[in-house]
Chain A
Amino acid sequence: MKHNFWKVKASILFAGIFIVGLLGCASLKPVPTAELQVIPDKTVLSPALIKKAVQFKGSGFAANEMVVVDLVPGPGVTIKGADEGENVGLAFATADEKGNFTAKMSPISTLNWFFQVGWTKNMKPDFKQAKPLKPGKYEILATGMDSGVIGKATLEFLTPPKKKK
């Protein structure tokens, strides 16, 4: 009787582990990868980027899907309006039939996320409140909104050259 009781208990435990394992394995499936290029991938953070914006090119996404490009804030990096560690969207585009895309940052995105400006009531950027991203390497991710495919690259902000005296 005691032996059968333990058999039943073992069955319950086994069933639970089996099912949790099934569900867990589904979440461990590797996410397909895509290619991503940042242009330029090294630059000094300057107002020139508002007019000549950073671009992103990618391949390996699903045909005609929307692709969103994010900046991954590194440790200690604070992004205005975002939670700590939260990725922020820099650009988006629709992939073509072959799964390729090109996206360019809008002036608002460059001002919001690279310069982190404030905004006046007249909807003008307020550079007095700006907290630009510091020089360093930042991970960039492009994610297919339907496929979940991810492309990775790096954008490096270079230390501005010292002004000659």
Chain B
Amino acid sequence: MKIRRIQWKVLLLTTVLMLWGPVSAKAAEVKFLDLTDYTGPVAGLALPGSWGYEDYFKDLNAKGGVEGVKIKYIGVDTRYDVARGLSAFKRYRRDKDIVAVGTVSTPFVKMLQRLTRKDKMVIIVTGDGEFQAHIGNFFIWGPAYQDAFAATLDWIKKDWTDKGKSGSPKVGFMSWDSAYGREPFRGGKEYAEKIGVELLRPEFFPVGNLKFDVYLTRLNKAGADYVYVGGVDPTQTSVMRDATALGLTKKIQFVSDYWGPTTLGVSLHPEALEGMVVVSFFLRGEESLYHPLLKRLWSTYRKKAPEEMNEGYGIGVAAGISFGQALKDAIKRVGKNKITREEIYKSYLNISGLGKEGITGPCAYSPTSRRGSDVVKFYKVTGGKIIPITDWIKTPDAVALHKWK
């Protein structure tokens, strides 16, 4: 009888042990999946950012991980191809050790939205305000695109006044004819109306377009005083090349969105880019190249001189800092053996105010915010360098102005 009781207890204990815990037995490691573009049309932007993630995690791991939990970085080259991204996501989706996903492609993320509606898995995305409008599991890198456009409209208004001009400036807009390219208008248009800035009819062009004379000529004829340029460089460099050739840079102030020229790009085309203003949520120019953490990580893991750094590297490092802190928070709350996607998601809502070493503004994630930060800086290409012309400026909430479906 006693033996039978022992046998049943053993059976029960074994069952409990076999079914224990939602995570793998290897609780000393979590995985971060980066669905990015190592090659392809936007690799110039995406690849440095991915290096930033990878190197930051390597650095954390070299120091023993986060409370002893290491982060395995898994990078997948999606080549700006939605089908490839979905296929890769399908491959890794069921790996429970993957607790967060990084992405760069707006069209891919729109599809991911449909697949992960019910998932509590952190997916880090570039800048679509839609993810702030519809709070869920998608977390933006910084301020939304429309917030940055709104901040730029404020800067333009001030610049116009500082130049002693009266009335209201006319602002042109040109960008890729894509979901990303059109995103700033979803809230940005409403903000322009709110502050009394006249927005001209926007010009959208195909991704990969190389000549911009037609679009620039139309904007000039419409009386543009300022032109906001979207797209991923070398789009902006090509726009400025054509604008310079048309003599427009003397009368129109061009402002690039986040993905405009980097220090490397400016060094290749200094004359064409001279005078272009850049709005950015991450450090640019020498502020980035000689930032202590960025410089150390770049030289340690990429083994290159700081002057060879693409400033997009800082985006990945900053996002890595957020992930590391969320992991730390999750470990503190539930212990290192119970780290799940859901717990990481909960922790992302707990890291508001986290400093990211000044690479971007402080973290703004919270239960009501999916913005990675809510400040931008303005830079200007001057004498072949990207020089700051403002300090960090809080971005308006342009997302809230749009009527979202």
What is the interface of chain A, defined by CB distance below 8 A to chain B? 4, 7-8, 11-12, 14-16, 19-20, 23, 66, 68-70, 80-82, 86-92, 105-106, 108-109, 112-113, 118-119, 121-124, 143, 145
Which residue of the partner chain, among A19, A80, A90, contacts B83 with CB atoms under 8 Å?
A90
Closest residue of chain A to B14 (Cβ to Cβ) is: A15
Is the Cβ of B83 less than 8 Å from the Cβ of A123?
no
| A23 to B39 Cα, complex, angstroms | 40
Which residue of the partner chain, among B40, B44, B88, B114, contacts A89 with CB atoms under 8 Å?
B88
Is the Cβ of A8 less than 8 Å from the Cβ of B238?
no
B210: A residues at CB distance < 8 A: 122, 124
A-B contact pairs, 14 of them (CB 8 A): A7-B3, A11-B7, A15-B11, A66-B114, A81-B78, A89-B82, A92-B83, A109-B81, A109-B84, A112-B84, A113-B84, A122-B208, A123-B232, A145-B90
Closest residue of chain A to B84 (Cβ to Cβ) is: A89
| A47 to B202 Cα, complex, angstroms | 34
Is the Cβ of A119 less than 8 Å from the Cβ of B77?
no
B246: A residues at CB distance < 8 A: none
Contacts A15-B10, A89-B88, A121-B44 hold; do A106 and B83 have CB atoms under 8 A apart? yes
A82: B residues at CB distance < 8 A: 77
B78: A residues at CB distance < 8 A: 81
Q: At the interface, yes or no: B214 with Cβ under 8 Å from chain A?
A: no
| A48 to B396 Cα, complex, angstroms | 48
Which residue of the partner chain, among B10, B19, B83, contacts A8 with CB atoms under 8 Å?
B10
A-B contacts besides A8-B10, A19-B15, A88-B84, 15 pairs, CB < 8 Å: A19-B14, A68-B87, A88-B87, A89-B82, A89-B85, A89-B88, A106-B82, A108-B81, A119-B41, A121-B44, A122-B234, A124-B210, A143-B90, A145-B90, A145-B115
What is the interface of chain B, defined by CB distance below 8 A to chain A? 3, 6-7, 10-11, 14-15, 18-19, 38-44, 77-88, 90-91, 111, 114-115, 207-208, 210, 232, 234, 238
Closest residue of chain A to B79 (Cβ to Cβ) is: A112
Minimal beta-carbon separation of B120 from chain A (angstroms): 17
Is the Cβ of B14 less than 8 Å from the Cβ of A12?
yes
Closest residue of chain B to A129 (Cβ to Cβ) is: B39
Minimal beta-carbon separation of B322 from chain A (angstroms): 27
Minimal beta-carbon separation of A5 from chain B (angstroms): 9
| A108 to B42 Cα, complex, angstroms | 13
A23: B residues at CB distance < 8 A: 18
Contacts A112-B40, A145-B86 hold; do A16 and B18 have CB atoms under 8 A apart? yes
Q: What is the predominant secondary structure among interface residues of chain B facing chain A?
A: helix
Is the Cβ of B39 less than 8 Å from the Cβ of A66?
no
| A66 to B85 Cα, complex, angstroms | 13
Is the Cβ of B81 less than 8 Å from the Cβ of A66?
no
Q: Identify the 9 closest CB pairs spanning chains A and B, nearest first.
A: A89-B87, A81-B77, A89-B83, A123-B208, A123-B41, A15-B14, A11-B7, A19-B18, A15-B11
Minimal beta-carbon separation of A158 from chain B (angstroms): 23
B232: A residues at CB distance < 8 A: 123
Contacts A15-B11, A15-B14 hold; do A89 and B111 have CB atoms under 8 A apart? no
| A70 to B85 Cα, complex, angstroms | 11
Minimal beta-carbon separation of B216 from chain A (angstroms): 17
Minimal beta-carbon separation of A25 from chain B (angstroms): 14
Contacts A123-B208, A145-B115 hold; do A20 and B81 have CB atoms under 8 A apart? no
A8: B residues at CB distance < 8 A: 3, 6-7, 10
B82: A residues at CB distance < 8 A: 89, 92, 106
| A20 to B115 Cα, complex, angstroms | 31
B15: A residues at CB distance < 8 A: 15, 19
Which residue of the partner chain, among B11, B44, B77, B81, contacts A11 with CB atoms under 8 Å?
B11
| A113 to B79 Cα, complex, angstroms | 10
A80: B residues at CB distance < 8 A: 39, 77, 79
